[in-house]
Amino acid sequence: MRTAATLLLFFLLPVLPYRAAAAPLLCDGGSALTPIGIDTGSGRVLLSVPPLGGKGKGWIAEIALAGEQVPVYPDPGAHFGGSIGPGPVVALASCGSTCLQPVRWEGGTFRPLGEPLVVPEGVTAGTTYDLEGTPWVVVHGKGARNGEPTAWAYRLAGREWKRAGGMAVAAVGDLPAVPAPQRKDGVISGTALFAASGPASAWAQGLPDLPPDRRGQVIALGGGSAAYLSADGAIYLSADSGKRWRRSVWMPWGSDTTGIWRQGKDFWVDLPLGDRRGPLQLAWFDHRQPSAERIVLTRLTPAGEWIALAESPSDVRSKNGEHLPVNLVLTPTADTWLLLSGCAATSGGSGLVVRAYAHGALGAPRFLPFEARQPGI
Protein backbone atom coordinates (compact mmCIF):
# COMPACT_ATOMS: atom_id res chain seq x y z
CA MET A 1 0.00 0.00 0.00
CA ARG A 2 1.27 3.46 -0.84
CA THR A 3 1.31 5.75 2.16
CA ALA A 4 2.28 9.38 2.35
CA ALA A 5 3.33 9.20 5.98
CA THR A 6 3.18 6.99 9.04
CA LEU A 7 2.05 8.55 12.30
CA LEU A 8 4.23 8.44 15.39
CA LEU A 9 2.31 6.57 18.06
CA PHE A 10 3.56 8.49 21.08
CA PHE A 11 2.26 11.99 21.62
CA LEU A 12 3.91 14.08 24.33
CA LEU A 13 1.97 16.90 26.02
CA PRO A 14 2.45 19.77 25.76
CA VAL A 15 4.09 20.25 22.34
CA LEU A 16 3.43 23.93 21.88
CA PRO A 17 4.18 26.75 24.35
CA TYR A 18 1.25 28.37 26.09
CA ARG A 19 0.53 32.04 25.82
CA ALA A 20 0.39 34.01 29.04
CA ALA A 21 -3.42 34.05 29.00
CA ALA A 22 -3.95 30.29 28.67
CA ALA A 23 -7.55 29.22 29.15
CA PRO A 24 -8.60 27.36 32.30
CA LEU A 25 -9.79 23.78 32.03
CA LEU A 26 -12.78 23.90 29.69
CA CYS A 27 -13.00 20.22 28.74
CA ASP A 28 -11.30 16.86 29.22
CA GLY A 29 -11.10 13.44 27.61
CA GLY A 30 -14.75 12.75 28.43
CA SER A 31 -16.09 15.85 26.66
CA ALA A 32 -18.11 15.11 23.53
CA LEU A 33 -17.11 17.58 20.82
CA THR A 34 -19.69 18.27 18.10
CA PRO A 35 -18.99 19.95 14.74
CA ILE A 36 -21.14 23.02 14.14
CA GLY A 37 -20.00 23.94 10.62
CA ILE A 38 -17.01 24.44 8.34
CA ASP A 39 -15.96 27.35 6.15
CA THR A 40 -14.48 25.34 3.27
CA GLY A 41 -13.07 28.50 1.71
CA SER A 42 -10.74 29.27 4.63
CA GLY A 43 -10.72 25.79 6.18
CA ARG A 44 -11.99 27.10 9.53
CA VAL A 45 -13.92 24.61 11.66
CA LEU A 46 -16.40 25.45 14.44
CA LEU A 47 -16.82 22.89 17.24
CA SER A 48 -19.28 22.88 20.11
CA VAL A 49 -17.55 22.20 23.44
CA PRO A 50 -19.99 21.24 26.24
CA PRO A 51 -19.52 22.74 29.72
CA LEU A 52 -17.15 20.75 31.88
CA GLY A 53 -19.16 18.77 34.39
CA GLY A 54 -22.41 19.54 32.57
CA LYS A 55 -22.97 22.83 34.39
CA GLY A 56 -23.15 26.30 32.90
CA LYS A 57 -22.80 27.29 29.26
CA GLY A 58 -20.54 25.65 26.72
CA TRP A 59 -18.01 27.07 24.31
CA ILE A 60 -17.43 27.33 20.57
CA ALA A 61 -13.93 26.45 19.40
CA GLU A 62 -12.66 27.87 16.09
CA ILE A 63 -9.94 25.77 14.50
CA ALA A 64 -7.73 27.29 11.80
CA LEU A 65 -5.59 24.99 9.65
CA ALA A 66 -2.38 26.90 10.36
CA GLY A 67 -3.21 27.97 13.90
CA GLU A 68 -1.10 27.16 16.95
CA GLN A 69 -3.88 27.95 19.43
CA VAL A 70 -7.63 27.44 19.25
CA PRO A 71 -9.73 30.49 20.16
CA VAL A 72 -12.81 29.55 22.18
CA TYR A 73 -15.81 31.82 22.68
CA PRO A 74 -18.87 31.58 24.95
CA ASP A 75 -21.57 29.62 23.17
CA PRO A 76 -24.63 31.87 22.68
CA GLY A 77 -26.76 28.73 22.34
CA ALA A 78 -30.02 28.12 20.45
CA HIS A 79 -28.44 27.57 17.03
CA PHE A 80 -28.52 24.54 14.72
CA GLY A 81 -27.97 23.48 11.12
CA GLY A 82 -24.51 25.02 10.66
CA SER A 83 -23.28 25.32 7.07
CA ILE A 84 -20.49 23.44 5.36
CA GLY A 85 -19.54 25.54 2.35
CA PRO A 86 -17.28 28.34 1.07
CA GLY A 87 -18.13 31.08 3.54
CA PRO A 88 -18.40 31.90 7.28
CA VAL A 89 -20.61 29.37 9.05
CA VAL A 90 -24.33 30.12 8.76
CA ALA A 91 -26.67 28.51 11.28
CA LEU A 92 -30.33 28.85 12.22
CA ALA A 93 -32.13 30.07 15.32
CA SER A 94 -35.80 29.51 16.04
CA CYS A 95 -37.97 32.62 16.23
CA GLY A 96 -41.28 30.75 16.53
CA SER A 97 -42.99 27.54 15.39
CA THR A 98 -42.95 28.72 11.76
CA CYS A 99 -40.05 31.17 11.90
CA LEU A 100 -36.31 30.70 11.39
CA GLN A 101 -33.68 33.41 11.78
CA PRO A 102 -30.48 32.64 9.83
CA VAL A 103 -27.37 33.72 11.74
CA ARG A 104 -23.75 33.96 10.60
CA TRP A 105 -20.54 33.50 12.60
CA GLU A 106 -18.84 36.89 12.87
CA GLY A 107 -16.35 38.13 15.44
CA GLY A 108 -16.77 35.20 17.79
CA THR A 109 -20.56 34.98 17.87
CA PHE A 110 -23.60 34.42 15.66
CA ARG A 111 -25.24 37.55 14.24
CA PRO A 112 -28.52 37.80 12.27
CA LEU A 113 -28.20 37.30 8.51
CA GLY A 114 -31.05 38.75 6.50
CA GLU A 115 -34.68 38.85 7.50
CA PRO A 116 -36.44 36.00 9.35
CA LEU A 117 -37.67 33.17 7.17
CA VAL A 118 -41.26 31.88 7.40
CA VAL A 119 -41.42 28.09 6.99
CA PRO A 120 -44.04 25.34 7.43
CA GLU A 121 -44.49 24.01 10.95
CA GLY A 122 -42.64 20.86 11.97
CA VAL A 123 -39.84 20.97 9.38
CA THR A 124 -36.09 20.49 9.65
CA ALA A 125 -33.57 22.77 7.94
CA GLY A 126 -29.92 23.22 7.08
CA THR A 127 -27.69 25.82 5.46
CA THR A 128 -24.88 25.99 2.92
CA TYR A 129 -23.34 28.22 0.23
CA ASP A 130 -23.24 27.88 -3.53
CA LEU A 131 -19.91 28.14 -5.35
CA GLU A 132 -20.50 31.85 -5.95
CA GLY A 133 -20.51 32.41 -2.18
CA THR A 134 -24.23 33.02 -1.72
CA PRO A 135 -25.89 31.58 1.43
CA TRP A 136 -28.79 29.13 1.10
CA VAL A 137 -31.31 27.60 3.50
CA VAL A 138 -32.86 24.23 2.60
CA VAL A 139 -35.96 23.10 4.49
CA HIS A 140 -37.15 19.49 4.66
CA GLY A 141 -40.67 18.29 5.38
CA LYS A 142 -43.54 16.33 3.85
CA GLY A 143 -45.31 17.35 0.67
CA ALA A 144 -48.86 18.64 1.15
CA ARG A 145 -50.38 16.38 -1.50
CA ASN A 146 -48.82 12.97 -1.01
CA GLY A 147 -46.78 13.28 2.16
CA GLU A 148 -43.50 12.26 0.48
CA PRO A 149 -40.19 13.80 1.64
CA THR A 150 -39.86 17.24 0.09
CA ALA A 151 -37.20 19.95 0.11
CA TRP A 152 -37.72 23.70 -0.32
CA ALA A 153 -34.75 26.00 -0.97
CA TYR A 154 -34.21 29.69 -0.21
CA ARG A 155 -31.38 31.92 -1.48
CA LEU A 156 -30.24 35.16 0.14
CA ALA A 157 -30.76 38.20 -2.09
CA GLY A 158 -29.90 41.42 -0.29
CA ARG A 159 -31.63 40.95 3.05
CA GLU A 160 -34.45 38.77 1.76
CA TRP A 161 -34.54 34.99 1.46
CA LYS A 162 -35.94 34.27 -2.00
CA ARG A 163 -37.64 30.94 -2.56
CA ALA A 164 -35.89 28.89 -5.25
CA GLY A 165 -38.40 26.08 -5.61
CA GLY A 166 -39.36 22.83 -3.95
CA MET A 167 -39.47 19.19 -4.99
CA ALA A 168 -39.49 15.59 -3.78
CA VAL A 169 -36.14 14.45 -2.48
CA ALA A 170 -34.38 11.22 -1.51
CA ALA A 171 -31.00 10.01 -0.19
CA VAL A 172 -30.20 13.26 1.66
CA GLY A 173 -27.71 11.82 4.15
CA ASP A 174 -25.68 13.60 6.82
CA LEU A 175 -25.59 17.03 5.15
CA PRO A 176 -28.98 18.58 4.32
CA ALA A 177 -27.43 20.75 1.60
CA VAL A 178 -24.07 21.17 -0.15
CA PRO A 179 -22.72 23.33 -3.01
CA ALA A 180 -23.67 21.91 -6.41
CA PRO A 181 -20.70 20.89 -8.57
CA GLN A 182 -22.91 21.17 -11.68
CA ARG A 183 -24.04 24.78 -11.18
CA LYS A 184 -22.05 27.59 -9.56
CA ASP A 185 -25.27 29.30 -8.50
CA GLY A 186 -26.87 26.17 -7.09
CA VAL A 187 -26.98 23.73 -4.19
CA ILE A 188 -27.81 20.04 -3.84
CA SER A 189 -29.97 18.31 -1.26
CA GLY A 190 -29.98 14.56 -1.81
CA THR A 191 -31.30 13.97 -5.33
CA ALA A 192 -32.58 17.55 -5.76
CA LEU A 193 -30.76 20.44 -7.42
CA PHE A 194 -31.75 24.05 -6.75
CA ALA A 195 -30.27 26.99 -8.65
CA ALA A 196 -30.82 30.72 -8.96
CA SER A 197 -30.74 30.48 -12.75
CA GLY A 198 -33.33 27.75 -13.28
CA PRO A 199 -36.12 25.64 -11.79
CA ALA A 200 -35.55 22.87 -9.27
CA SER A 201 -34.68 19.54 -10.87
CA ALA A 202 -33.51 16.04 -10.08
CA TRP A 203 -29.78 15.73 -10.81
CA ALA A 204 -29.63 12.00 -9.92
CA GLN A 205 -31.48 9.90 -12.48
CA GLY A 206 -31.68 6.88 -10.21
CA LEU A 207 -30.35 5.23 -7.05
CA PRO A 208 -29.06 1.72 -6.26
CA ASP A 209 -31.89 -0.76 -5.75
CA LEU A 210 -31.53 -1.51 -2.05
CA PRO A 211 -33.96 -2.56 0.71
CA PRO A 212 -35.09 0.21 3.06
CA ASP A 213 -32.75 -0.79 5.89
CA ARG A 214 -29.70 -0.40 3.61
CA ARG A 215 -30.57 2.87 1.94
CA GLY A 216 -28.12 5.73 2.47
CA GLN A 217 -26.92 8.96 0.91
CA VAL A 218 -26.04 10.06 -2.59
CA ILE A 219 -23.06 12.33 -3.33
CA ALA A 220 -22.53 14.35 -6.52
CA LEU A 221 -18.92 14.22 -7.70
CA GLY A 222 -19.15 16.46 -10.76
CA GLY A 223 -18.92 15.65 -14.45
CA GLY A 224 -21.89 13.29 -14.23
CA SER A 225 -20.17 11.08 -11.65
CA ALA A 226 -21.87 10.15 -8.39
CA ALA A 227 -21.32 7.98 -5.35
CA TYR A 228 -23.76 6.30 -2.99
CA LEU A 229 -22.87 5.22 0.53
CA SER A 230 -25.34 2.69 1.93
CA ALA A 231 -26.37 2.51 5.58
CA ASP A 232 -24.05 -0.47 6.12
CA GLY A 233 -21.05 1.25 4.50
CA ALA A 234 -21.14 -0.29 1.02
CA ILE A 235 -19.93 2.03 -1.75
CA TYR A 236 -21.67 2.32 -5.15
CA LEU A 237 -20.39 4.41 -8.05
CA SER A 238 -22.04 5.85 -11.17
CA ALA A 239 -20.52 7.59 -14.19
CA ASP A 240 -23.85 8.69 -15.72
CA SER A 241 -25.68 10.67 -13.03
CA GLY A 242 -27.19 7.60 -11.44
CA LYS A 243 -28.59 5.78 -14.47
CA ARG A 244 -26.33 2.80 -13.76
CA TRP A 245 -24.56 1.82 -10.55
CA ARG A 246 -21.79 -0.61 -9.70
CA ARG A 247 -20.64 -1.67 -6.27
CA SER A 248 -17.02 -0.89 -5.46
CA VAL A 249 -15.12 -3.93 -4.16
CA TRP A 250 -11.86 -2.06 -3.56
CA MET A 251 -10.33 -2.13 -0.09
CA PRO A 252 -7.08 -0.57 1.13
CA TRP A 253 -5.71 -4.07 1.81
CA GLY A 254 -6.73 -5.60 -1.54
CA SER A 255 -9.94 -6.05 -3.53
CA ASP A 256 -9.51 -9.83 -3.59
CA THR A 257 -10.20 -9.94 0.17
CA THR A 258 -13.75 -8.57 -0.05
CA GLY A 259 -15.40 -11.75 1.18
CA ILE A 260 -12.92 -12.40 4.00
CA TRP A 261 -13.41 -9.37 6.22
CA ARG A 262 -16.73 -8.40 7.76
CA GLN A 263 -17.83 -4.84 7.19
CA GLY A 264 -18.97 -3.17 10.40
CA LYS A 265 -16.91 -5.52 12.57
CA ASP A 266 -13.48 -6.06 11.02
CA PHE A 267 -13.58 -2.64 9.38
CA TRP A 268 -15.89 0.27 8.76
CA VAL A 269 -15.96 3.23 6.39
CA ASP A 270 -16.44 6.86 7.38
CA LEU A 271 -17.42 9.69 5.03
CA PRO A 272 -15.57 12.72 6.42
CA LEU A 273 -17.58 15.77 7.32
CA GLY A 274 -16.46 18.71 5.25
CA ASP A 275 -15.64 19.89 1.75
CA ARG A 276 -17.16 17.66 -0.92
CA ARG A 277 -16.39 19.80 -3.97
CA GLY A 278 -13.50 17.56 -5.00
CA PRO A 279 -13.03 13.79 -5.37
CA LEU A 280 -14.75 11.34 -3.05
CA GLN A 281 -12.68 10.81 0.10
CA LEU A 282 -13.25 8.09 2.69
CA ALA A 283 -11.59 7.07 5.95
CA TRP A 284 -11.27 3.32 6.57
CA PHE A 285 -11.01 2.10 10.15
CA ASP A 286 -9.15 -1.21 10.08
CA HIS A 287 -10.09 -3.33 13.10
CA ARG A 288 -8.88 -6.67 11.79
CA GLN A 289 -6.31 -6.68 14.60
CA PRO A 290 -8.17 -5.09 17.54
CA SER A 291 -4.98 -4.45 19.46
CA ALA A 292 -3.51 -2.50 16.52
CA GLU A 293 -6.44 -0.63 14.96
CA ARG A 294 -5.43 1.64 12.09
CA ILE A 295 -6.99 4.33 9.95
CA VAL A 296 -6.43 4.69 6.20
CA LEU A 297 -7.24 7.90 4.32
CA THR A 298 -8.33 7.21 0.74
CA ARG A 299 -9.40 9.13 -2.35
CA LEU A 300 -11.21 8.25 -5.57
CA THR A 301 -9.40 9.74 -8.58
CA PRO A 302 -11.29 11.34 -11.50
CA ALA A 303 -10.32 8.24 -13.50
CA GLY A 304 -12.26 6.07 -11.06
CA GLU A 305 -9.27 4.55 -9.26
CA TRP A 306 -8.86 4.42 -5.50
CA ILE A 307 -5.60 5.43 -3.86
CA ALA A 308 -4.44 5.30 -0.24
CA LEU A 309 -3.19 8.71 0.87
CA ALA A 310 -1.92 7.90 4.35
CA GLU A 311 -2.11 5.25 7.04
CA SER A 312 -1.59 5.45 10.79
CA PRO A 313 -2.69 4.05 14.15
CA SER A 314 -6.20 5.23 14.92
CA ASP A 315 -5.24 6.58 18.33
CA VAL A 316 -2.40 8.40 20.01
CA ARG A 317 -0.98 7.89 23.48
CA SER A 318 -0.40 10.72 25.90
CA LYS A 319 2.62 11.09 28.14
CA ASN A 320 0.78 9.42 31.02
CA GLY A 321 -0.25 6.45 28.85
CA GLU A 322 -3.81 7.54 28.09
CA HIS A 323 -5.16 6.36 24.72
CA LEU A 324 -6.84 9.07 22.67
CA PRO A 325 -8.77 7.54 19.75
CA VAL A 326 -9.77 9.47 16.65
CA ASN A 327 -13.40 10.46 17.13
CA LEU A 328 -13.84 13.07 14.38
CA VAL A 329 -12.61 12.94 10.78
CA LEU A 330 -12.99 16.24 8.92
CA THR A 331 -12.01 17.60 5.51
CA PRO A 332 -11.93 21.40 5.98
CA THR A 333 -10.88 21.88 2.34
CA ALA A 334 -10.82 19.53 -0.62
CA ASP A 335 -7.15 18.64 -0.13
CA THR A 336 -6.78 18.65 3.66
CA TRP A 337 -7.88 16.33 6.47
CA LEU A 338 -8.15 16.84 10.22
CA LEU A 339 -8.15 13.87 12.59
CA LEU A 340 -9.38 14.94 16.01
CA SER A 341 -8.75 12.79 19.06
CA GLY A 342 -10.90 14.91 21.32
CA CYS A 343 -10.02 17.19 24.19
CA ALA A 344 -7.05 16.81 26.52
CA ALA A 345 -6.58 18.47 29.90
CA THR A 346 -3.11 19.45 31.10
CA SER A 347 -1.69 21.43 34.00
CA GLY A 348 -1.60 24.48 31.74
CA GLY A 349 -5.15 24.23 30.45
CA SER A 350 -7.15 22.23 27.95
CA GLY A 351 -7.02 21.92 24.19
CA LEU A 352 -7.45 19.68 21.18
CA VAL A 353 -5.35 16.76 19.98
CA VAL A 354 -5.13 17.13 16.19
CA ARG A 355 -3.40 15.49 13.24
CA ALA A 356 -3.49 17.12 9.83
CA TYR A 357 -3.04 15.71 6.34
CA ALA A 358 -1.84 18.41 3.94
CA HIS A 359 0.56 18.75 1.03
CA GLY A 360 0.59 14.97 0.54
CA ALA A 361 1.67 14.02 4.07
CA LEU A 362 0.06 13.17 7.39
CA GLY A 363 1.73 15.13 10.16
CA ALA A 364 2.50 14.10 13.71
CA PRO A 365 -0.08 14.77 16.46
CA ARG A 366 -0.22 18.28 17.86
CA PHE A 367 -1.73 19.67 21.03
CA LEU A 368 -3.49 22.96 20.28
CA PRO A 369 -4.27 24.80 23.54
CA PHE A 370 -7.51 26.68 23.98
CA GLU A 371 -7.37 30.46 24.25
CA ALA A 372 -10.50 31.93 25.85
CA ARG A 373 -11.82 35.05 24.14
CA GLN A 374 -14.86 37.26 24.18
CA PRO A 375 -16.85 38.17 21.03
CA GLY A 376 -15.31 40.99 19.08
CA ILE A 377 -11.77 40.22 20.25
Q: How far is CA 106 from CA 71, 110, 196, 308, 375, in A?
A: 13, 6, 26, 37, 8
H helix intervals, the chain: none
Give pLDDT tens digits for 324-364. 889 999 999 999 999 999 898 888 889 999 999 999 999 99
Mean pLDDT of 58-71: 92
Report whether pLDDT(375) > 60. Answer: yes
Report pLDDT for 55. 80
Q: How far is CA 209 from CA 230, 240, 245, 261, 331, in A?
A: 11, 16, 9, 24, 29
Report whether pLDDT(14) > 70. Answer: no
Which pTM does this prediction carry? 0.90
Q: How far is CA 361 from CA 5, 309, 349, 356, 357, in A?
A: 5, 8, 29, 8, 5
CA angle 226, 47, 287 (to 5 degrees): 60
Mean pLDDT of 193-200: 96
Cα–Cα nearest to 139, from 195, 99, 199: 99
Confidence of residue 320 (pLDDT cuts 50, 70, 90): low
Distance, in Å, from the CA atom of 151 to the CA atom of 187, rounded to the nearest integer, reads: 12
Confidence of residue 151 (pLDDT cuts 50, 70, 90): very high
Report pLDDT for 3. 33
Strand, helix or coil for residue 194: strand
Looking at this protein, which amino acid is placed at residue 52?
A: L
Report whether pLDDT(10) > 60. Answer: no
Least confident of 146-155, 234-243, 285-294: 285-294
User: Of the segments 36-40, 49-53, 119-123, which one has the largest average pLDDT value?
Assistant: 36-40
- Percentage of residues in the chain having pLDDT higher than 90: 69
